[in-house]
């Protein structure tokens, strides 16, 4: 369908770009994009996508607007306080561009509703602030064949990547270190308010490029942004044959909700920082501590703390007898996720105060090896 006079006026700056033009604009108007999370990332992403004339926009978020959101979530203002984010977002986007069909889902994305919701969209923008949701969205996109533009923010740093089915690696190919069904709880952390503005806008850019077929996508490239240094970097990565969801023999073949595991949920847990553990080892406390590295043997062989023994997490329940005589078992893994899971297993086996190394080997080896 040719563009109407008002569409020609509204999108004139797109029409002036030969790479977009009337054909690109029509592709945008036929596109269907779901934004997961109407927060810091979802706000700019959704605003720019609505302004660009995306045909159908879905906004899913189960939260209500809080005063602390206004520092970065530019969809909202003081009149939005205490109202459902998805609803307020829909009204705001509709005012920006009445030609866009905006649908609000004032709920959390879960394993139970993901298939039905994603069925109406071709591209998913993940702007959720929970790691469990990020894995769920990734798995849903792999299983249901949807393109995904993922981003995350922390303090002054952001990252973004794009997954297109059949064309490159998924989020789990890169971030595989989550023991099954368990991801670390992302405690509330500070974030520079303008940071998600940059990253969410990058997500909208990727979606528009995907739809119109212009440029080079962030497929197999993790883009990182450091606002303090004002530097972008990128890391290339490949699809892993052993990826648990997009690999050749996937173990994740249906969606399920991950349990967020938080150190505070494990009674008696002793959490060691790198500095604390180093100080104890330097002071010769090795007889009171038993360091147990719960990574796979090949990961262990690639480098470990000298005093540590290796018991892979999968074998831990059977081999706990090797542990119980130790004064204090301290579990270690790559990032501090599997080690928390190990503490849960140890607690279930009657070890009352298991310990773990917060941040795992990544923290132990320092940022150079991250």
The tokens for 19 are 């790479």
186 is catalytic: yes
Only one of the segments 18-26, 126-134, 164-172, 282-290 lies at the binding site for Zn ion (rule: CB under 5 A); that segment is: 164-172
Shortest distance, CB of residue 174 to Zn ion, whole angstroms? 8
Compare residues 55 and 181 and give the one whose CB is closer to Zn ion.
Answer: 181
Buried b (16+ CB within 10 A) or exposed e, 137-159: bbbbbbbeebbbbbbbbeebbbb
243 counts as binding Zn ion under rule CB under 5 A: yes
Compare residues 163 and 331 and give the one whose CB is closer to Zn ion.
Answer: 163
Sequence-separated (6 or more) residues with CB below 8 Å from residue 109: 36, 60, 117, 128, 133, 136, 137, 140
Compare residues 172 and 295 and give the one whose CB is closer to Zn ion.
Answer: 172
Return the sign of the alpha-carbon dihedral for residues 73, 159, 249, 167.
positive
Distances (CA, A) of 89 to 29, 83, 86, 103, 169: 19, 10, 5, 9, 31
Whether the CB-CB separation of 102 and 93 falls below 8 Å is answered with: yes
Compare residues 156 and 237 and give the one whose CB is closer to Zn ion.
Answer: 237
170 counts as binding Zn ion under rule CB under 5 A: yes
Q: How far apart are CA 265 and CA 214, in angstroms?
A: 47
164 counts as binding Zn ion under rule CB under 5 A: no
Contact with Zn ion (CB under 5 A): which of 20, 74, 137, 173?
173
Q: Bridge-partner residues for 57, per DSSP?
A: 33, 102
User: Rounded to 5 degrees, what are φ and ψ at 246?
Assistant: -110, 5
Shortest distance, CB of residue 152 to Zn ion, whole angstroms? 17
Compare residues 62 and 250 and give the one whose CB is closer to Zn ion.
Answer: 250
Only one of the segments 72-80, 155-163, 173-181, 210-218 lies at the binding site for Zn ion (rule: CB under 5 A); that segment is: 173-181
Only one of the segments 100-108, 150-158, 243-251, 262-270 lies at the binding site for Zn ion (rule: CB under 5 A); that segment is: 243-251
Only one of the segments 113-121, 156-164, 240-248, 267-275 lies at the binding site for Zn ion (rule: CB under 5 A); that segment is: 240-248
Residue count, binding to Zn ion (CB under 5 A): 5
The strand pair at 157-163 and 147-154 is best described as antiparallel
Return the sign of the alpha-carbon dihedral for residues 74, 80, 85, 86.
negative
CA-wise closest residue to 207 among 26, 7, 52:
52
Q: How far apart are CA 80 and CA 60, in angstroms?
A: 16
Compare residues 237 and 364 and give the one whose CB is closer to Zn ion.
Answer: 237
Q: How far apart are CA 149 and CA 121, in angstroms?
A: 13
The 57-96 contact track toward Zn ion, x by CB under 5 A, reads ----------------------------------------
Instruction: Give me the catalytic one of 141, 173, 246, 333.
Output: 333
Contact with Zn ion (CB under 5 A): which of 172, 295, 338, 356?
172
Contact with Zn ion (CB under 5 A): which of 136, 246, 294, 313?
246
Shortest distance, CB of residue 219 to Zn ion, whole angstroms? 12
Residues 81, 107, 46, 25, Cα dihedral to 10°: -140
3-class SS shares of the chain: helix, strand, coil, % to 5? 40, 20, 40
* Tokens 């889902």, located at residue: 105
170 is catalytic: no
Shortest distance, CB of residue 148 to Zn ion, whole angstroms? 11
Shortest distance, CB of residue 218 to Zn ion, whole angstroms? 15
143 counts as binding Zn ion under rule CB under 5 A: no
Compare residues 72 and 172 and give the one whose CB is closer to Zn ion.
Answer: 172
Instruction: Give me the catalytic one of 173, 186, 243, 343.
Output: 186
Shortest distance, CB of residue 112 to Zn ion, whole angstroms? 23
Shortest distance, CB of residue 247 to Zn ion, whole angstroms? 6
Q: Could you give the residue numbers annotated as active site?
A: 186, 333
Q: Which residues of the shown chain bind Zn ion in the complex (CB under 5 A)?
A: 170, 172-173, 243, 246
């Amino acid at each position: 369908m040719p563009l109407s006079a008002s569409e020609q006026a509204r999108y004139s700056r797109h029409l002036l770009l030969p790479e977009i033009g009337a054909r690109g604009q029509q592709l945008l108007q036929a596109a269907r994009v779901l934004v997961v999370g109407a927060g810091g990332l979802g706000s700019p992403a959704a605003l720019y996508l609505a302004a660009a004339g995306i045909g159908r926009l879905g906004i899913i978020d189960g939260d209500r607007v809080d005063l602390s959101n206004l520092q970065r979530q530019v969809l909202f203002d003081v009149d939005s306080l205490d109202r459902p984010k998805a609803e307020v977002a829909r009204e705001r986007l509709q005012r920006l561009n009445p030609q866009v069909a905006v649908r609000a889902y004032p709920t959390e994305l879960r394993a139970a509703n993901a298939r039905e919701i994603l069925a109406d969209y071709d591209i998913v923008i993940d702007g959720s602030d929970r790691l469990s949701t990020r894995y769920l969205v990734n798995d849903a996109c792999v299983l249901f064949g949807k393109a995904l533009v993922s981003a995350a923010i922390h303090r002054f740093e952001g990252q973004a990547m794009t997954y297109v089915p059949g064309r490159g690696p998924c989020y789990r190919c890169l971030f595989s270190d989550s023991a099954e069904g368990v991801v670390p709880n992302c405690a509330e952390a500070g974030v520079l308010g303008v940071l998600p503005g940059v990253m969410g806008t990058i997500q909208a850019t990727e979606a528009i490029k995907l739809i119109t077929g212009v440029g080079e996508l962030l497929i197999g490239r993790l883009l990182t942004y450091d606002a303090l240094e004002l530097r972008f970097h990128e890391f290339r990565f490949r699809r892993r044959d052993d990826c648990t969801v997009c690999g050749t023999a996937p173990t994740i073949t249906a969606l399920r909700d991950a349990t967020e595991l938080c150190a505070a949920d494990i009674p008696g847990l002793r959490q060691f920082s790198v500095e604390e553990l180093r100080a104890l080892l330097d002071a010769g406390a090795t007889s009171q501590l038993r360091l147990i590295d719960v990574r796979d043997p090949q990961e262990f062989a690639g480098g470990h703390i000298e005093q540590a023994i290796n018991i892979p997490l999968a074998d831990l329940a059977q081999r706990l007898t090797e542990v119980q005589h130790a004064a204090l078992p301290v579990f270690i893994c790559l990032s501090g996720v599997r080690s928390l899971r190990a503490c849960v297993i140890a607690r279930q086996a009657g070890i009352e105060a298991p310990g773990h190394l917060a941040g795992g080997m990544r923290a132990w080896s320092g940022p150079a090896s991250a």
